[in-house]
Amino acid sequence: MEHLGKRENTVRYQEVELLAIGAGPSSLALAVAVEELARTELAGDTLIVEQQDDVVWQRGMLMPWTQSQVSFLKDLVTLRNPRSAFTFVNYLHSVGRLDQFINLGSFTPYRMEISGYLGWVARSLPNVRIEYGRRCVSVRPFGTADGAGEWIVQLADGGIVVCRHLVIAAGRDAYIPEIFAGIPRELMIHSTEFAARIGEIDPDRTRRIAVIGGAQSAAEMLWTAHQAFPQARCTMVMRSIGLNAYETSRFTNELFYPSFVDEFHSARPEAREQLLREMHRTNYAGLTPDMLDTLYRAMYVERLTGAERIEMIPMVDVTAAELDGREVVLTLADRKSGRRSQLRSDVLLLGTGFAKKMPWIVRDMADSVGIDQITVNRSYRMDLPPSFTGTCHLQGVNEATHGIADSLLSVLSARAEEIVTDLLAHRRAPAPFTGVRATRPLAGTTQGAPR
């Protein structure tokens, strides 16, 4: 197998056994599991492609003061193999910060520290390769008329990767409500790009900032904007009755155990719906106690001094968003009275989260193989037509069947083990004979062609 660098201008054609799309925590946990559980069988023939130029966790919201809400023990590997060389504790030891972290007395590291850990793991993999700056643009099946045994993955740089086993962990698409479609991108920032784009805001021209949403990301953007733009009034617009703390207890936290996935997956549909509904505020619709306290104290002090710059408008729907010169004009409908009002701002910050539907790359791939409804089995393997001998596993998008923890760090190590185990079992099973030999695609093409 030819070892290739990060980028080349020429079209590249590669063949690998296992390809993972996206180098986030899910794929890195998978890579560690491949190194430890399938070193001789898969590790040397596994490739991860990442569209960014480096590994950064929660890139859009990576402010220095932000912390994870998950214990450091729920890293990429500890719950599966606490003796692994890829634990968060070993990372701290390797960078000479273990004593300081212990002295900090916290189970929840700063996000920057988790991001550093992920980058360290990416650099430490002995066999699995990661290629950066390579964005996936399409996935298509390749094989014979009787069945597909491989995938053709087209990359934005013109390269092609052919693989038998595919794992997609690209994350869900950012959700920007249709109502904001007419607002220019330079006047609107989604939380996924906040840290990178906040520097674009002109402090001399910005006097009014509107934040849409009432959960942790929206609150963090509100607080950051309030600190970064001391002349601006920051208004938070939300549908809820007000800001709430995450609903967590040691009892509900047990529902994030990897062992709970079996229980959730085997539950009746109505029970799954209840679980997801009741657990929503344990992760999506709440704030950390520290963030709530910080905002409330800031608003209290501002009332004392008469310099109120933080405003919260609860229980309203944004029914229209229009442009008036360089101003964004929001029409708000009060849920209590039905009355409508307008809110004018210079910049919109969207804490609107992620689209519930499958990522576009998964939907596009499913359409290419004739699948109307995307489903996965207990091992996260996508249900494909029986004639397919290649596999595709999905990570981080299976909340409906595997529980709310599927998009979080809590189940990373266990899920990675299950996928690797499933891959090895499928790899060792004899492939069905179709009577026709598959042909390889030519370099520079996106479809199969004999050569």
260/256 Cα distance (integer angstroms): 7
**C-beta of residue 101 within 8 angstroms of C-beta of residue 128:** no
Tell me what pLDDT residue 144 has.
53
Tell me, what amino acid is at 449?
Answer: A
User: Which helix (DSSP H) or strand (DSSP E) does residue 152 occupy?
Assistant: strand 147-155
| Longest Cα–Cα distance in the chain | 82
> How crowded is residue 68: how many other Cβ atoms within 10 Å of its Cβ?
19
Residue position matching structure tokens 């569209």: 51
Helix/strand/coil for 227: helix
Tell me what pLDDT residue 378 has.
96
How does pLDDT run along the chain (451 residues), one tens digit per residue?
333 334 444 458 999 999 999 999 999 999 999 999 999 999 999 999 999 999 999 999 999 999 998 999 999 999 999 999 999 999 999 999 999 999 999 999 999 999 999 999 999 999 999 999 999 999 999 875 456 789 999 999 999 999 999 999 988 999 999 999 999 999 999 999 999 999 999 988 899 999 999 999 999 999 999 999 999 999 999 999 999 888 888 888 888 999 999 999 999 999 999 999 888 777 777 899 999 999 999 999 999 999 999 999 999 999 999 999 999 999 999 999 999 999 999 999 999 999 989 999 999 999 988 898 999 999 999 999 888 888 999 999 999 999 989 988 999 999 999 999 999 998 877 654 443 334 444 333 333 322 2
Tell me what pLDDT residue 280 has.
79
Tell me what pLDDT residue 342 has.
96
Single pTM value for the model: 0.89
> How crowded is residue 186: how many other Cβ atoms within 10 Å of its Cβ?
11
Tell me what pLDDT residue 441 has.
45
**C-beta of residue 73 within 8 angstroms of C-beta of residue 80:** no
326-330 LR contacts (CB < 8 Å, sep 24+): 326/187, 328/183, 328/187, 328/188, 328/210, 330/210, 330/237
81/41 Cα distance (integer angstroms): 19
Tell me what pLDDT residue 282 has.
79
Q: Which domains does the chain have, with CATH numbers?
A: 13-173+355-428 (3.50.50.60), 178-246+283-347 (3.50.50.60)
Helix/strand/coil for 423: helix
Tell me what pLDDT residue 171 has.
87
User: Which helix (DSSP H) or strand (DSSP E) does residue 344 occupy?
Assistant: strand 340-345
Tell me what pLDDT residue 115 has.
96
Tokens of 139: 């996935």
Tokens of 334: 């009060």
| Angle, helices 25-37/111-124, rounded to nearest 10 degrees | 40
Tokens of 154: 């087209």
Tokens of 245: 């703390």
DSSP assignment string, 358-405: PPHHHHHHHHHTT-SS--B-TTSBB---TT--SEEEE-S--HHHH-GG
363/331 Cα distance (integer angstroms): 34
> How crowded is residue 73: how many other Cβ atoms within 10 Å of its Cβ?
12
